[in-house]
Structure 1
Amino acid sequence: MTPFKVVYGRDPPGLLRYQPSPSDNQSVKDSLLARDALLNKLKENLFRAQQYMKHQADKKRIEKHFQIGDKVWVKLKPYRQHSVQLRQNQKLSMRYFGPFTILAKIGSVAYKLLLPVNAKIHPIFHVSQLKEFKGDDTATTIPFPLLIDEEGIMLQPLQVLNRRTILKGEQLIPQVLVQWSGQEVSEATWENAEDMSHLYPNFNLEDKVIFNGGSIVMGPEENIPLQAENDKLVIEEGHVAAFPENALLRRSTRTKMTNTRLGDFVQGK
């Protein structure tokens, strides 16, 4: 559907070529002939531009042909979700995986590969996504990502390593340090806890927290004898009572003196 049809609800009118007639006005005839010449020039320029672009693109293209049973590397799209906020440099991510065996040739530019059973992706790839494997496949292998769909590689959170709270503007934002599936601990990323809860509702963000069930009321066995604790107090002059029986009172032994401003005041008896 063309933009013209979207706006006006019908196809745009076609440009008919001018058919000369002896009865036509000379000025009209010249105008229509000039229009046809301009259209021919535009088509010629467009064709030349297309051929030039094709020539430049073909310079980087190499004819590839594989046989059934050959081992090839598979080029997959970059990680579409390495972390929630995609902070890592995707240019450093792995590009090729495998090697995998070619099962069949589909058409002239596509091949069907033998992929692992956990790969949620179509097994037919364009020849531009394949690269010839050379060497011993038993010694060299790059494992396939755990989860793959048509949009690319999708990593899943494996565990929570740590947590923190950062100040962004005037808000305190809790974050968790997440280790992703298929990644090392050193590649863990800090993610907002709220974002992780929305994107992965079944993932437990409290993996490292151990909850001890029970009431908020302290039991009798948990009460600490105050007398035993006070017996361990270090008696220091001027801070606590010098006698153990008065330790619970924690009264100062400092001598009380009358305020000099109240010297003329007579206290009633």
Structure 2
Amino acid sequence: MTPFKALYGFDPPTLINGCSVPSKVEEVNQLVQQRDEVLGELWQNLLKAQDQMKAQLDKHRRMVEFSVGDWVYLKLQPYKLKSLANRPCAKLAARFYGPYQVLSRVGMVAYKLDLPVQAKVHPVFHVSLLKKALKPNQQPQPLPPMLNKEYELEVEPEDIVGWREDNQGQMEVLVKWVQLPTCDNTWKSTAVVQDKFLLFPLEDKMALLEGIDKYQGVRDVIRPLIKHVYVRRNKG
């Protein structure tokens, strides 16, 4: 559906070349000729804009081709919840998975990979997400088990293994995620955990932690006594 039809509810009228249907009125012929010249200029400008966009994109494209049987690494951006994507060692986190073998080529810029049986994603990927593996006998990096069809990682909290207070006095908990190793444990504020995971028993988990003897709720953690209160002096 074109934008014109979406706005007006019908297709735009077909523009007929004025030279094919001449008119007996000279002013009409001149008007039609001017319209054809404007349409021709617009068409040339569209082609020029397309060429410029293609040239700009080609600067960042890689001319990479793979053959059937090659081993490649797969790049994914798996995290669905952006607030949960900041892992402690993001620079050391896995950016490529595999290697996986190329089964076939799909079109000009896509390839079908031999993914594991438990993978829940479509096996065809754009060439920009692939990187050739030099040694097929390297230790493979398996796909995360919680990856959905949109290549997003749907994580769920499993347990709370620690707690602390940040510089603003807000409470944070150390979350252990389901089916993820302990190295992926992350500090999250209690407000984020309560908002994102409504069914997770946060208060019950925290009640079992050591150091919270008189715990009655997330907001009732015993805070240190305030011994000094500083008052800002007025300038002048």
For 2:176, the aligned partner's letter is Q
Q: Is contact 1:79-1:90 (8 Å) kept?
A: no
Q: Secondary structure at the match of 2:205?
A: coil
Q: Secondary structure at the match of 1:153?
A: coil
For 2:110, the aligned partner's letter is A
Q: Distance in 2 between matches of 1:30 and 1:82?
A: 60
- Residue 225 (structure 2) aligns with: none
Q: Distance in 2 between matches of 1:113 and 1:200?
A: 34
For 1:73, the aligned partner's letter is Y
Q: Distance in 2 between matches of 1:160 and 1:64?
A: 45
- Residue 148 (structure 1) aligns with: 147
Shift of 1:141: 3.3
Q: Distance in 2 between matches of 1:36 and 1:121?
A: 50
Q: Does 1:179 align with 2:179?
A: no
**What percentage of aligned pairs have identical amino acids?**
34
Shift of 1:130: 1.2
- Residue 43 (structure 1) aligns with: 43
Gaps of 5+ in 1: 212-269
Shift of 1:134: 1.0
- Residue 205 (structure 2) aligns with: 207
Shift of 1:113: 1.8
- Residue 191 (structure 1) aligns with: 189
Q: Is contact 2:112-2:124 (8 Å) kept?
A: yes
Q: Is contact 1:179-1:189 (8 Å) kept?
A: no
| Structure possessing the higher relative contact order (Cα contacts under 8 Å, 6 or more residues apart) | 2
For 2:95, the aligned partner's letter is R
For 1:134, the aligned partner's letter is L
Q: Distance in 2 between matches of 1:118 and 1:197?
A: 31
Which of 1 and 2 has greater Rg? 1
- Residue 125 (structure 2) aligns with: 125
CA-to-aligned-CA distance 1:134-183 (integer Å, 9 cap, x gap): 12533x43332221113222333232123467899xxx976533133535
* Structure-2-length-normalised TM-score: 0.69
Cα RMSD of the aligned pairs, angstroms, is 3.4
Moved more, 109-118 or 32-41: 109-118
Shift of 1:33: 0.7
Equivalent residues, number: 204
